[in-house]
Structure 1
Amino acid sequence: MTDRLVHLGDLGAWLIKGNADRVDLTGRFARDPRVTSWCVRPGYRTRLMRAGQPVVFWASGSRGRLGYGVWGVGLVAGVAVPGEAGAAWTVPLDLTVLDEAHRVRRELFRADPRLAGAEVLRQPQAANPSFLTAAEFAALRERLPPP
């Protein structure tokens, strides 16, 4: 995925991605903004995920089609589990997708020098989960509505 290691001492939030060009995320979240699980790739990062850790949902896709970027915020609700034979691993979540007016668009995210080096911008094709450092998550929280 990347050679940058995640350390729990500097973990601000996990970041999971969904590609809005491949799946109708807009329609899905209009019907129900709650996200109770998402697919993740097994590995050391997935093994570090625990209930109560912050998690951010990042919508990706072709630039210009939608307001891609941070669409939701919540918490990890438990440890990741493998799917049935051949199926993806999933992590339980307690995450709500924000109203469109409260989402942090990729352009605003990238323009903030405290966020410009985030892994999601450096490695956009990396598998879930990605992460934000404690400093990056603090900077993002300044742009989000109060919980």
Structure 2
Amino acid sequence: MIKCNPHKTDLGPMVEAGRAHEHWCVADNYRTRLMAPGQPVLFWVSSHPRRGIWGAGQLAGTPVPGPQWKISTNITLFDEPILASDIRSIEELSMLEVFRSPQQSNPSWIDASAWEIVRTLLPD
């Protein structure tokens, strides 16, 4: 999961384009090193009245090291976000990392069992 804080990254151009930016900052950690092209990725918008999952797609590349590591993505935004309140109301998803540790840097983690449930919430 890639998180976007709209107080730091303008959502307007992404919403107009129907797509998230292609490149996102990620932490220099073991999670980033597990990222690979073709893996699914969710787009979480934080610090917003309608926070939640705003899009989904795939990783488009491998992490690029540097002073600020980056990952390429191909994320399409949904017509309507899946709100955090709706996600949290599902018992199996109530302990997602974005709820337990919202300050955690990108990427955030979703385990396989939670991913199977989240997939059922995604628009066709």
- TM norm structure 1: 0.78
User: 1:105 and 2:83 equivalent?
Assistant: yes
Task: Report the 3-state secondary structure (helix = DSSP H, G, I; strand = E; otherwise coil) of the residue aligned with 2:9.
Answer: coil
Structure 2: runs of 5+ lacking an equivalent: none
Give the Cα separation in 2 of the matches to 1:105 and 1:30: 16
Query: What amino acid maps onto 2:27 in structure 1?
Result: R
State, as a whole percentage, how many aligned pairs show the same letter.
41
Partner letter of residue 123 of structure 2?
A: P
CA distance in 2, matches of 1:16, 1:107: 18
> Which of 46, 69, 72 is equivalent to 2:32?
46
Q: Distance in 2 between matches of 1:91 and 1:132?
A: 17
Quote the Cα distance in structure 1 between the aligned partners of 2:23 and 2:76: 11
Alignment of 1:33 onto 2:11: no
CA distance in 1, matches of 2:15, 2:3: 17
- Name the TM-score, length of structure 2 as normaliser: 0.91
Question: Which entry has the higher C-alpha Rg, 1 or 2?
Answer: 1
* 1:43-71 residue CA offsets vs partner (Å, 9 max, x unmatched): 1111110011110010000xxx5311001
Answer whether contact 2:31 2:107 (CA < 8 A) is retained.
Answer: yes
Q: Decide which moves more: 48-57 or 34-43.
A: 34-43
User: Deviation digits for residues 7-48 of structure 1, max 9, x if unmatched?
Assistant: xxxxxxxx11011233321x1222322232211111111111
- The answer to whether the 8 A contact 2:15-2:77 is kept is no
Structure 1 consecutive aligned stretches of length 4 or more whose deviation exceeds 6 Å: none
2:109 alignment partner AA: F
Q: Which runs of 5+ in 1 are unaligned?
A: 1-14
Q: Per the alignment, in what secondary structure is the counterpart of residue 131 of structure 1?
A: coil
The CA distance in 2 between the partners of 1:33 and 1:116, in whole Å, is: 28
